[in-house]
Structure 1
Amino acid sequence: MKELKLYLGPNHPGMHGNFSVHMYVDGDTIVRARPMPGMLHRGFEKLMERRLWMNNLALIPRICVPEPDINEMVYAMAIEELTGIEVPEKAHWIRMIILELARIANHLMSLGGIGGPVGLYTGPNWGLADRDLILDIFEEITGARIYHMYIVPGGVRKDLREETIEKIKSFLDYLENRLPEYEDLILKNSLFQRRTKDKLLLPAEVVWELGVTGIGMRSAVGEAYDIRKVDPYARYDQVEFYVPTANYSDGYTRVYFKYLETYQSIKIIRQVLEKMPQKGKVWNKISNGSALRWRVPKGQVYTHVECARGEYGYYMVSEGEDKPYRVAVRGASYPQGLLGVEKYLPGTRIEDAALWMDTMGVCPPEIDR
């Protein structure tokens, strides 16, 4: 048979974001794959180097749309380390609430969205509907549903209202009771299991070869490598949570881990609400007169957090000017989303290509940056 070239994305319901994979197939099997980033045409890193430090706050959340707050966090952490700005105690705890809500929102989108490639369309409807409840909370806190610009150098923009805290508690109770229904609908579904169990494998050696982190690493090599544990930031060292691990990374295990981690995020937020100071500052502001002329001291730093897909970091260099000299984004899905597509998507059947991308947690803007 003649080798045939097919396209997965960028305009395809199974592709996550503006990204394309050129698949060369023999019958129903992919024999070669070529990832094609560059569909966004944004160049986030270079744009950041041409904007004032504070102006970048509106740009950086767009590097990962499903979980934008991680960019605000690593950017703020880098500036705080370079400048020595102290973050108020209460702001550390509020940041954790925002980050864990964003993680849950990402997992719900992924957990529900996995139903699309297997024809289980109730899953995306549930996932997006429940994610919308989190967006309602974000809107109440920040004034925006997706891009919040809420975590800023020196803390967070404003305190949480008591009504918002009660709304968060109510949502956590609702979601905890709701999650078993996701398990019944998706994880226990025989069709979903046939499509993902013992398939879409991520061998342990790939983790070390490509630098895969997050659920991909933890499900393949059995190591609880989670930045919240190994290099705690905010106040993650003061809360208890469990990091699931396994030694067999098939598609089913990676999706199941997203389900388990959602429970852990609920547990973390509840602890934060209990331990968070009731009063106190939440932002050590720069004076209004100097924010747009602000110069960050000369130096270089790498800051990282644990996002829903793994280790997410910024390497930032300042030359003491009013703009960053260099910013490099360590996108968590870069290894499997770019190198992994080319090396390990071959051998997969055509109908499973979208499943492969989803279970690997590929976020295209982290690659095309």
Structure 2
Amino acid sequence: MGKDNKLVKIFHGPQHPGITGNMSVEIDLDGETIVNSETHVGYLHRGFEKLVERRTIPQAFTIVCRICVPEPDPNEENFARGIENLANIEVPVKAKWIRTMVLEMQRLTAQFLWIAGQGGSLGLYINPQWAVADRDLMLDLYEELTGARVYHMYIYPGGVRNDLPVGFLDKLSRLLDYYESRLPEYDRIFFNNAVFKKRAVGIGIVKPETAIKHGVVGPVLRAAGFKHDVRKYAPYEMYSQVEFDIPTQRDSDVYARALVRREEMVQSIRILRQVINKMPKDGPVNVKLKGHRQFLIPRGETWVRTESSRGEFSYFMASDGTEKLRRMQVKGPSMVHAMSLLPEVLKGAQLADVAMIMNSLGTCPPEIER
């Protein structure tokens, strides 16, 4: 206890090398043990839903990718597919294959960034040095494909902005070869690292009943033994045309969640190999839309969802027949993982484990303050 038997209150973040984005956790400590905690967000981008509702569809397209900076493409895909549902737009087949490719490329970059962050939270600094460098190789391909490294603004209502550059699939294939050769090295420095296992095994346990109560998704849910993935059970784009497995674990601790993410990297590479082989050589990649004041969305409602690297990500969209959406609501994994689950998991944990537990849940703060 603190002086006069009072708890000590500290703030973990928002500027901290081991936190997930710009968010703060207010912690009450009894010595080194966490008694209570509360998550605070709003230090970065926010207010996306209202920003979108006040813009025409082509204008709003540039907003949604910022809902999650490290993983913008699931937002672009959700937004595009929602508009396509409302406007009855049929997306060309080649565009769907390209979208599937882009989403799995994004999943790999997100997992590399997760490895970097989790290593940093433990003081294993070779992890961020290696993982950020390897992630940058995929960003090079994104830059060639879209002209941008982070905010791609490439998956557009009606398809994608442009076709694949000459030789792009060969470059992607070579990069996948490199990633496959690197995974055993990441096993050595991180996944099988004695320090990481000592720190992570048995820490931050999310019991199966807790996972269901809070509605957790993604690797957190799969590490608790639940075999759920939107790509498999509600397939979109071309996921019904590729084969992949849903990795699960049973221990539901920080280490189990790491193992799920490690295997998901293998599955992403497997999916991308199939996409490369099945990619149509010819055909349109988009449907030409009217200008932003002429593109009117028919009255109606829709709900779409994708499987981001952090779990199920969904959009609700409602139109009143004008050039703007009447309502858009975003539901990502972070609201549950950071706001309701994290305080419960942190109760009784040690101060030194806060960053590691928080990273293991996979959050993106702008999703919450949306």
Q: Deviations over 1:276-323 (max 9, x none)?
A: 111000001113xx3343111111111000000110010111111111
Q: What SS does the aligned partner of 2:105 have?
A: helix
Paired residue for 1:21? 25
**Matches of 2:351 and 2:110 in 1, distance apart?**
26
- Runs of 4 or more consecutive aligned structure 1 residues displaced over 3 Å after TM superposition: none
Unaligned 5+ residue runs, structure 2?
none
* Deviation (angstroms), 1:41: 5.6
Offset at 1:340?
Answer: 1.1
Name which of 25, 33, 36 aligns with 1:32.
Answer: 36
Inter-partner Cα distance in structure 2 for 1:84 and 1:342? 43
- CA displacement at 1:122 relative to structure 2: 0.2
- Of the three residues 167, 176, 180, the one matched with 1:172 is 176
SS in 2 for 1:245: coil
- CA shift at 1:257, angstroms? 1.1
For 1:349, the aligned partner's letter is Q
How far did residue 83 of structure 1 move? 0.7
SS at structure 2 position matched to 1:114: helix
Letter in 2 for 1:302: W
How do 1:100-249 residues align onto structure 2 when only pairs under 5 Å count? 100-220=104-224, 222-249=225-252
Deviation at 1:15, TM superposition (A): 1.4
The change in CA–CA distance for 1:92 and 1:109 in structure 2 (over 3 A counts) is same
Counterpart of 2:262, as a letter, is Y
Rounded to whole Å, the distance in 1 between the matches of 2:292 and 2:50 is 21
Q: Distance in 1 between matches of 2:140 and 2:13?
A: 30
* 2:334–2:362 contact (8 Å) kept in structure 1: yes
Q: What per-residue deviation string (whole Å, max 9, x for no partner) do you get for residues 158-192 of structure 1?
A: 11123211110110000011111001100111111
* Equivalent runs, 1:315-330 vs 2, <5 Å: 315-330=316-331
Counterpart mapping for 1:207-356 below 5 A: 207-220=211-224, 222-287=225-290, 290-356=291-357
Distance 1:83 1:242, change over 3 A: same
Q: How many residues align?
A: 366
Hey, what's the Cα distance between the residues in 1 that align with 2:88 and 2:129? 45
Amino acid at match of 1:319: D
Contact 1:113 1:127 in 2 (8 A): no
Assess if the C-alpha contact under 8 Å between 2:37 and 2:343 holds in 1: yes
The secondary structure found in structure 2 opposite 1:116 is: helix
Kept after mapping to 1: 8 A contact 2:82/2:302: yes
Q: 1:223 Cα shift?
A: 2.4
TM-score (norm 2): 0.97
Equivalent residues of 1:111, 1:258 under 8 A apart? no
Verify: 1:367 aligned to 2:355, yes or no.
no
Paired with 2:175 and 2:211, the residues of 1 have a C-alpha distance of 35
CA distance in 2: counterparts of 1:324 and 1:121, whole angstroms: 45
Residue type of the alignment partner of 2:253: D
Structure 1 gap ranges (5+)? none
Structure 1 position 346, deviation (Å): 1.2
Q: Percent identity?
A: 45
Residue 8 (1) aligns with residue 12 (2): yes
Matching residue of 2:103: 99
